[in-house]
Structure 1
């Protein structure tokens, strides 16, 4: 993974955009949605960029950039039509610890801007590490149709309820179960019944555990899509020994905050199931058959089937 995805708090971020043409305008279309302080420097200014100044969203300096400008900023976008100028100032900025993005020149970029689906508090970023931005836009267009605009007010509603849920449900695990129940009932809509689904979720939390089994010799990449929601609910990811290459793929499909442990005794597994834990066991053939016999309620995840 060459580029590590991060979501940065922009409240006190200082951004400099050098250039004010079509390319800079595309960058400002996204940057203007943030809370960052944005300066733009360019001798010639497109009308679209001037519009951001009129709205008070950017500070505009109509002149050529100079080396003294490379001070006090967190991010720099070099978006001029002069490729050599972009590269020269990228080097200067990096020497001063400023993160740089040079348009259409990934080798000079300290960071890149992904293709973004914006639903307010829900933001999805897609990147191909600069290799195929056209394909990233294709993925974005698919996600735009999958994620309704109603998610914007829905997540505002959820954010407004977080403190109340923390006060009423002290256990982190119970809170997760609460929100799972809420989203299962409410789905992705925000309407007159959303508040009812929220209240109902307090009394309908399920304490039933779940046991998922997976053969370590199977290819996790061939699991059906229906297996993905099950893996994302796992509390504990069990293997027979230290994880190896054969378990790495399915490990990537499990929640990041799930525990990773060595398989305990069968009695302990039964206790965890009765306690409401959702566990995944990645084992070889002999252990798989033993677990299926001991836990008939377990779900065997197999390539192409559940």
Structure 2
């Protein structure tokens, strides 16, 4: 992976944009949504940028840029001119000074690239083709945009408002994760008059699960079902036992069904007796523990306490585990 995806706090950034044409306008349209301090050096501004300046009030130096403008006061520099010589000269000077620079349409002169971004309030999805096909990135963004509901904006505002309280009530990170998993299984991405009721039911679920494996709550495997009266609770048994997935290391994991990916985001621990293939590791929950194969007694205890495991080994070893854990599930191509 050549480009490391990052989301940077823009509140103290000093950003220089060189150029005042249509390309610079596109960059500044994105930058103007941030809290960065923006400066533009260009002999002229296209009408779109003139209007943006009136609304956003960025600093404009009406002249050509030169090497003396590449000072260490800048955190980011965007070069958006149609002069290849100026682009190269200024980019090389910025790199020599250790300043992060982006030269439009010149990926070889870029210390960073700007992805296509899809926004729903606090939700941001960045898409990049590593600079080789920005038009395709934009098309993919448009395709994904219709799939993401606008309710994400108020939902994430609601979650952000509750986050500090949840951290105080559940100091254990795993308890917090289970709480949010249960809430989002019930609520999904919607935000409406039952969201607060689902939140309260999730609180009740997390509070009671440490003392009893049954809770008077809606089953999280059947989301979006709530009586007409939001405060009414349906009493059902909720099984809090964990799960063990068994994956034979001789199977081509690239042929496994895509539906498994969402299941594997619940994993607490991934175990193998060697090194996980990098491509398989990328499919798994990133903050799940990576450990050697466990002894059977420890695994049984962990599963009884609601932990999710993936065991990656040869079939004979996995069969030994399944003998003691009959509910352990072999994962096969097309089995999901």
TM range (shorter): over 0.9
**Pair 1:17-2:17 in alignment:** yes
- In structure 2, the partner of 1:264 is 294
How far apart are the structure 2 equivalents of 1:74 and 1:118? 24
- In structure 2, the partner of 1:7 is 7
Q: Secondary structure at the match of 2:146?
A: helix
| Regions of 4+ moved over 4 Å | none
TM-superposed CA distance for 1:51, in Å, is 1.5
Name structure 2 gaps, 5 residues minimum.
210-239
- In structure 2, the partner of 1:122 is 123
RMSD: 1.3
- In structure 2, the partner of 1:222 is 255
TM-superposed CA distance for 1:57, in Å, is 4.0
How far apart are the structure 2 equivalents of 1:183 and 1:49? 41
**Pair 1:212-2:242 in alignment:** no
**Pair 1:163-2:164 in alignment:** yes
Larger relative CO (CA 8 A, sep 6+): 1 or 2? 1
For 1:67-97, what per-residue CA distance to the aligned partner results, in whole angstroms no more than 9, with x for missing partners? 2211110110000111111111111111111
TM-superposed CA distance for 1:196, in Å, is 0.9
How far apart are the structure 1 equivalents of 2:243 and 2:51? 56
How far apart are the structure 1 equivalents of 2:62 and 2:157? 39
How far apart are the structure 2 equivalents of 1:135 and 1:272? 45
For 1:119-177, what per-residue CA distance to the aligned partner results, in whole angstroms no more than 9, with x for missing partners? 12111111111122232223212221121111111111111101110111121101100
How far apart are the structure 2 equivalents of 1:222 and 1:137? 29
Q: Secondary structure at the match of 2:129?
A: coil
Change (3 A) 1:293 1:172: same
TM-score normalised over the length of structure 1: 0.95
- In structure 1, the partner of 2:64 is 64
Mean alpha-carbon deviation: is it higher for 72-81 or for 197-206? 197-206
How far apart are the structure 2 equivalents of 1:230 and 1:26? 39
Report if aligned partners of 1:42, 1:64 keep a CA contact under 8 Å in 2.
yes
TM-superposed CA distance for 1:189, in Å, is 1.0
Name structure 1 gaps, 5 residues minimum.
none
Report if aligned partners of 2:246, 2:330 keep a CA contact under 8 Å in 1.
yes
- In structure 2, the partner of 1:295 is 325
Report if aligned partners of 1:32, 1:57 keep a CA contact under 8 Å in 2.
no
How far apart are the structure 2 equivalents of 1:303 and 1:142? 28
Change (3 A) 1:57 1:216: farther
Report if aligned partners of 1:16, 1:39 keep a CA contact under 8 Å in 2.
yes
Q: Secondary structure at the match of 2:53?
A: helix
Change (3 A) 1:195 1:236: same
Q: Secondary structure at the match of 1:20?
A: coil
Mean alpha-carbon deviation: is it higher for 268-277 or for 207-216? 207-216
How far apart are the structure 2 equivalents of 1:183 and 1:105? 42
Q: Secondary structure at the match of 1:76?
A: strand
Change (3 A) 1:276 1:57: farther
How far apart are the structure 1 equivalents of 2:129 and 2:114? 11
- In structure 1, the partner of 2:230 is none
How far apart are the structure 2 equivalents of 1:219 and 1:204? 38
Report if aligned partners of 2:67, 2:89 keep a CA contact under 8 Å in 1.
no
- In structure 2, the partner of 1:232 is 265
Pairwise mapping of residues 1-306 of structure 1 onto structure 2 (< 5 A)?
A: 1-71=1-71, 72-205=73-206, 207-240=240-273, 242-244=274-276, 247-306=277-336
TM-score normalised over the length of structure 2: 0.87
How far apart are the structure 1 equivalents of 2:299 and 2:151? 41
Change (3 A) 1:103 1:273: same
Report if aligned partners of 2:32, 2:56 keep a CA contact under 8 Å in 1.
no
How far apart are the structure 1 equivalents of 2:112 and 2:326? 50
